[in-house]
Amino acid sequence: MAAALPIISIAPYFSPTAAAAEREAVSQALHTACRDYGFFYLDISCFVGESETDELSRLARQFFFLPQEEKDRISIKHGDLARGYQSMGQNVTMGMSDNHEGIDMYAPTPKPSMDPKKPLGGVNPWPEVEGFQAAFEKWIEKMKTLGAVTMQAMAAGIQATPEESKQLQSMFSDPFWYFRIIGYPPLPKDHDGFSCGAHKDYGCLTFLWADPTPSALQVFLRPNPNIDFDAIAQSAAAVSASASTPTSAADHHAEEGGERGVWINADPIPGCLVCNIGEMWEVLSGGMYKSTLHRVVHRSSNYRVSVPFFFEPNFDSIIKTLPAARRLHLAERRNAATTTNGTKNPGAGAESELREYEPVVYGDFLLNKIASNFDIENGIAD
């Protein structure tokens, strides 16, 4: 079964000998994927070897299979209520406990004056598993590099001028980052929730590595005139019908948050990460790109591991809509307003349909999100 999401190789941006046309094709593919899906596969086989991700999986499992009391030694309750270990059911999404455990790690405290007992004010409590910290710190550096390169390619995709591209890069000159290491046991048959409930990411770029477990990560795809939505919905229904634990038929023409769409699987592909955009790219793009709902429903018999890495702006960056994105958005909508015979489609591509976003300081935005996502008394995160 072909992947429902686009697959894009970032290799031309890592090759000093790549032709300009090769890079341009990557940038255009990124723009199209962000505009139409909000999710895509990023082929990074030129940059990351299978042995590296195998090691991440091995170390994560070694930690998660420790006795509970050993894992609890680095609980978020002992620190700033953001960094550290969260036990089964401690993470909550949309008011329901998720069926997973995890470790959350963040970039160093961005402001020395921050209270070490308040979210983000502390330090990362690394597990005492041999090789764990070294392997994941190497992964952090690789993902920061990948983030910078992908942002460069995306700037070209929205047709930024050299000066505009430089301004965008300056917003990420010292990127704040965080990542999760998540362990998913199979969902109990009587569990009325999800392994991880439906949510949108509120940052910039998410790079997700996950083990080969199929039919776990699901993406909510909205109807779009640029894609064959009905064919994708039919394919999703066929996949579900053949699965041992089929998805509800309602999910093939579902509504989530008032939006109509379909839940599709985003199964792992060797050599690729699953990448999606968060709310910061909505602001940067003036609404041309939309952060997309996704969830995890893990009903297979194995213990699943995933490592999402969140590449973010500088903590003090002011995020606002890029002029290049606004120009491209308008140009594309005006082109869409013209039919194939050259006549105009009244109302299509109207300039008034562009959304105005207030500039936001990323760090303030993040802290507000974290403050609303934590039960300070019980250390429960959303």
Q: Are 261 and 233 in contact (CB under 8 A)?
A: no
pLDDT at 256: 60
pLDDT in tens, 333-381: 777 766 545 555 444 443 446 677 899 999 999 988 876 654 434 444 4
Beta-carbon count within 10 A of 108 CB? 9
Range with top average pLDDT, 57-71, 109-123, 174-188, 363-377: 57-71
Is residue 135, in this structure, part of any structural domain at all? yes
Q: Which residues contact 196 (CB under 8 A, 6 or more apart)?
A: 91, 93, 98, 99, 100, 182, 184, 295, 296
pLDDT at 74: 97
Is residue 218, in this structure, part of any structural domain at all? no
Residue 174 has pLDDT above 60, yes or no: yes
pLDDT band, residue 254 (cuts 50/70/90)? low
Q: Which helix (H) or strand (E) holds 31?
A: helix 20-36
Tokens of 29: 């593919």
* Residue 102 main-chain phi, psi, to 5 deg: -170, 170
State which residues form the domain around 52.
Answer: 7-210+271-340+356-374
CA angle, residues 294, 299, 303, in degrees to nearest 5: 95
C-alpha 207 chain-centroid distance? 6
* CATH assignment at residue 316: 2.60.120.330
User: In terms of Cα–Cα distance, which of 134, 137, 138 is closest to 48?
Assistant: 138
Is residue 74, in this structure, part of any structural domain at all? yes
- E strands along the chain, which residues? 7-9, 39-43, 84-86, 92-93, 96-97, 101-106, 177-184, 196-199, 205-210, 217-221, 254-256, 259-265, 272-277, 294-296, 304-311, 318-319, 360-361, 374-375, 380-381
CA–CA separation, 216 vs 308, rounded Å?
A: 14
pLDDT band, residue 117 (cuts 50/70/90)? confident
Residue 137 has pLDDT above 70, yes or no: yes
Residue 326 has pLDDT above 60, yes or no: yes
**Mean pLDDT value across residues 23-38:** 97
Is residue 335, in this structure, part of any structural domain at all? yes
Strand partners, 295: 218
Is residue 147, in this structure, part of any structural domain at all? yes
Q: Are strands 7-9 and 39-43 parallel, antiparallel or unpaired?
A: parallel
Length of the chain: 382
CA–CA separation, 97 vs 9, rounded Å?
A: 36
CA–CA separation, 107 vs 140, rounded Å?
A: 9
Tokens of 107: 């970039």
pLDDT in tens, 229-246: 788 877 777 766 655 554
Provide the residue type at 22 as one letter. Answer: E
Q: Which helix (H) or strand (E) holds 83?
A: none
pLDDT at 181: 97
pLDDT band, residue 205 (cuts 50/70/90)? very high
**Mapping DSSP to helix (H, G, I), strand (E, B) and coil, where does residue 363 land?**
helix
Is residue 246, in this structure, part of any structural domain at all? no
Q: Are 123 and 83 in contact (CB under 8 A)?
A: yes
The per-residue DSSP string of 87-148 comes to -TTTBEETTEE-S-EEEEEEPSPSSTTS-TTSTTSS-----S-TTHHHHHHHHHHHHHHHHH
Number of domains the chain contains: 1
Is residue 254, in this structure, part of any structural domain at all? no
Burial class (CB in 10 A: 0-12, 13-18, 19+), 236: buried
Is residue 249, in this structure, part of any structural domain at all? no
pLDDT at 241: 61
Burial class (CB in 10 A: 0-12, 13-18, 19+), 212: exposed
pLDDT above 90 as % of the chain: 62
Tokens of 171: 């917003």
Q: Are 99 and 191 in contact (CB under 8 A)?
A: yes
Higher pLDDT, 102 or 188: 102
Tokens of 222: 């909205």
CA–CA separation, 172 vs 284, rounded Å?
A: 13
Rg of the chain, C-alpha, whole Å: 21
pTM for the whole thing?
0.90
SS3 sequence of 303-321: CEEEEEEEECCCCCCEECC
